[in-house]
Amino acid sequence: MGTERRHEIEAAIERHLRAAGEPVREAFLYERVSADGVDASPDDFVAVLVRLEVEGRVHMDPVHDEVRDPEPFAPRFWRIIE
């Protein structure tokens, strides 16, 4: 994935997390970013989320319920770090 595309995905993720003001489920976040016209495969999207977490820009909260999201999405919620 190119740097420009990664930055586009990062910006869309952060925009949606800030707008939500609360943790957002991973699969739903992907749907919102895709609805904005951001072209990202599910695998690239998850890779960007993990990178943002490693950089300390977002935080993942595990979900402890029985909901099963399709691969590669895990039942996790993501939130922005202020």
pLDDT at 65: 67
What are the tens digits of pLDDT across the range 19-67?
Answer: 998 999 999 999 999 999 999 999 999 999 999 999 999 999 877 667 7
**Do residues 24 and 60 touch, judged by C-beta distance below 8 A?**
no
| Residue ranges making up the domain that contains 18 | 3-80
What local confidence, expressed as pLDDT, does residue 38 receive?
Answer: 94
Q: Report how far apart, in Å, the C-alpha atoms of 72 and of each of 7, 21, 26, 39, 41 are.
A: 21, 25, 10, 16, 10
Q: Convert the pLDDT of each residue in 12-21 to its tens digit.
A: 999 999 999 8
pLDDT score, position 64 = 64
Task: Give the Cβ contact number of residue 13 at 10 Å.
Answer: 25
CATH of residue 67's domain is 1.10.10.10
User: Number of folded domains in the chain?
Assistant: 1
Averaged over 4-17, what is the pLDDT? 95
The whole-angstrom separation of Cα 57 and Cα 79 is 9
